[in-house]
Structure formats: C-alpha cells, structure tokens
Amino acid sequence: MPRLKWGMIGGGEGSQIGPAHRLGSGLDGLFEFTAGALDHRPDAGREYGRRIGLPPDRAYGDWHEMLEGESKRADKVDLVTVATPNATHFEITKGFLQAGFNVLCEKPMTMTVEEGEEIVRLAQETGNICAVNYGYSGYSLVRHMRAMVARGDLGKIRLVKAEFAHGHHADAADADNPRVRWRYDPKQAGVSAQFADCGIHALHMASFVTGQEVESLSADCVSCISSRELEDDAMVNFRMSDGAVGRLWTSSIAIGRQHGLTLQVFGEKGGLRWTQEQPNQLYFMPLNERLQVIERGEANLSPEADRATRVTIGHAEGMPLAFANIYTDLAEAIRARKERRSVDPAANLYPKAEDGLRSMAAVFAVAKSGKEEGVWVDARPPMFR
C-alpha cells in the first residue's frame, strides 16, 4: 500500500516537539514526510526542510505558501500536523480544514472556546479529520486502563486523581528569562499558563480512561513566583458525567519532579496507577487481593493494548511510540475515509477536535473559578450543554 503523505507546520530545528512528531509519523512506514513550513523564519524553515529530506519544492517558507502549493497538487499531503506556538493553532488548523486537508493540531487546539467550537463545526461540516495531540493517550498501558475500566474490572468509578506537575519553571532568578516569562503573561499565553499547558493533558487522560466527561470544576490557582500574572500551580476539583469525583494537581514549580504525569483511577472493585515516567508498568490493586504489576507486552492484555505495543515485554517503550500510535490511528482513519468504509473501532481512539474544545472550556472554567475563590463552574463547552 503506498505510504500516506505527511506535512508539518512548525517543529523546526531546535523545537521541543517537532522531532517527536517526525519520529512518531515515520515509525511504522505509514506516512512519508513530504512537505513542511517548519520555522517562523521562512529561509531557516526552507533550509532545514531540505536538509532533513523534503523535496526542495515542498520545503515551504510559511504555512500560506504551503497551503497554496499543496492545494494545487494532485499528490497533496494527506495529513498536516500543526506544531507551532499556541496562538497560531486556530488560524492554521482552520485554513487547512477549509481547504480539504486532514489536520493533527498540537494542544491547546485554540485560544478560546468560541474558536474551538468553530473548529469542531468545521470538521463536522467538511468531514475532514481534525485530531488533537493528546499523545499520552497513545501509550499501550493507558489504552489498557481504558479497556479495563470499560469492561468493568474496577466496577463503577468513584474517583480519579490526575497529576501533571514538574519543576522546570521553579527558579525565581530565571522568571524574567524571555523564554519563560511569556508563558505567564496573559497577553501572550491567554487566560491560563500551567493548566492550559500541562493540566489539560492530565484532564484529557482522566476523561479518556474513565470514558466520562468533565462537567463542573472548582480551581485554586496560585502564582508561587509572585511576579507572574498567571498561575504556576493549580489544584482543580471536578465532577464527571457518570458521577466520578476528580482531583487534579498541576504545577511548574515542583522542584525535583521531571515530567510528572500520573493517573490513578479508583473504582468499587479496584484501583489503577500509571505514571508516564515508567510507562511500561501498570499497577492494579483488586479489592481484597494482592497488588498486581501489569507489564506492557504481556499475554492476555486487551486488544487495544496489543494494538499499541511494538516491542516485546521487558524492552522499554516511550513517548515517540505513544505518538506513533496516534499516527497509526490516523492512518487507519484516513485510509477508511479514502476507501469509503468505516474505521476500525480499535483505531478510533485518537483525540478529536471535540476533546480539544472540551479542554478549552475547562481552561476558561479554571481561570474563572481561580479568580473567584474556587467557585464551582460549568466546565462544558456551550455547544455540548
């Protein structure tokens, strides 16, 4: 089967997330890196694109040029990844969706709830795929947690505890460094800093694994480094659509914590714990039994976990392979669309524009609650109420 054609906006030389997308999209031989507008500096983007193997006529200077160039081609890209800074996601995603392309947008999908609703409507109207890169939902054992919850291994879910707390912005002496400062400046970052950057990953994971949506929340937002206008730490309590209680902690001043994404789910019949820094083990405690360590790749896991595992048990798998699972799902969804057939349900797990929109509604709810002493607020986007 010919490989699908893949393009990327942003993710240029030295960027944080570009390499993980290139690894993830290329890993299974499903996508070929065909086009890109990789840098905010046109010449640097063209030069870097050519250097890493793009055909010269498809190493574009900016996204408008790429949209125009690719739209004219019979062999246009099948998927465009948007890996630019947050404030540009909306216009680029909108532009490519309108022109008939499938898009994988980095999180947060937009800067406002209204923009998020526009993207959801556009994806629905055009029928084009719009995915959002909550890439941690691609880990094999995260998908296994989801499958265990769905088949009732834990009974009814009572409580979910999500964390995404790191310590990489904890140095007050570095707070004025321009690379750090913009993140806490409302003019550049929007209404939220740490929750919008990291908290939404943890919140998405809570919904992905439990199969429940966040309905309302109460937030305590703090700037531990007092010169910051936006929060560098937040504790969020939330309630979910099938009655689960949620607790979420996100922080950027937690010195000693590295990536810090962890999910715990507690039901009537058992509890689960998974942490992103040791993603190949899942801890399962069935009620009144002994603790079990579930290893990625072991026999008799769920089909969802098996589909998302690549190397045999005992060999570590990490973040680029989780991203690769999102790309594998997208390849199946794009092929199904081309072949006018339904998508393999096991592949239909990639996060969608609706998830990106729900995150934006949560971001605004956290900002409002944080300003109003933790008042409980509706966290659903208006179009889903």
Shortest separation between residue 274's beta carbon and ligand NAI, angstroms: 16
Q: Which is nearer to ligand NAI, 218 or 276 (CB)?
A: 276
Closer residue to ligand NAI, CB minimum distance, 60 or 238: 60
CB distance 261 to 163 below 8 Å: yes
CA dihedral sign, ordered 93, 240, 381, 185: negative
Looking at beta carbons only, is 252 or 302 nearer to ligand NAI? 252
Residue 131 CB, nearest distance to ligand NAI (Å)? 11
- Judged by beta carbon, residue 78 or residue 106, the one nearer ligand NAI is 106
- Running DSSP on this structure, what letter comes out for residue 346? G
Q: Which residues bind ligand NAI (CB under 6 A)?
A: 9-12, 15-18, 37-40, 62-63, 83-86, 88, 106-107, 133, 135
CB atoms within 10 A of CB 189: 21
> Quick one: 107 or 144, whose CB is closer to ligand NAI?
107
Nearest approach, Cβ of residue 182 and ligand NAI (Å): 10
Q: What angle do CA 22, 140, 302 make, to 5 degrees?
A: 145
Q: How far is the CB of 230 from ligand NAI (least distance, A)?
A: 15
Q: What is the Cα 270 distance to its own chain's centre?
A: 27
Strand order of the β-sheet with 31-37 is: 31-37, 4-10, 79-83, 102-105, 130-132
CB-nearer residue toward ligand NAI: 133 or 218: 133
Closest residue to ligand NAI, based on beta-carbon distance: 12
Tokens 């009144």 sit at which residue?
288
Burial class (CB in 10 A: 0-12, 13-18, 19+), 51: exposed
* Min separation Cβ 38 and ligand NAI, Å: 6
Residue 10 CA, chain-centre distance (Å), reads 16
* CB of 40 vs ligand NAI, minimal distance in Å: 4
Maximum C-alpha span of the chain:
64
Distances in whole angstroms, Cα of residue 29 to Cα of each of 24, 33, 128: 10, 10, 22
Nearer to ligand NAI, 22 or 161 (CB): 22
- Minimum CB–partner distance for residue 69 and ligand NAI (Å): 14
Least distance from ligand NAI to the Cβ atom of residue 344, Å: 24
Residue 354 burial class via C-beta count within 10 angstroms: exposed 0-12, middle 13-18, buried 19 and up: buried
Q: Which is nearer to ligand NAI, 164 or 266 (CB)?
A: 164
Distance from CA of residue 376 to its chain's centroid? 25
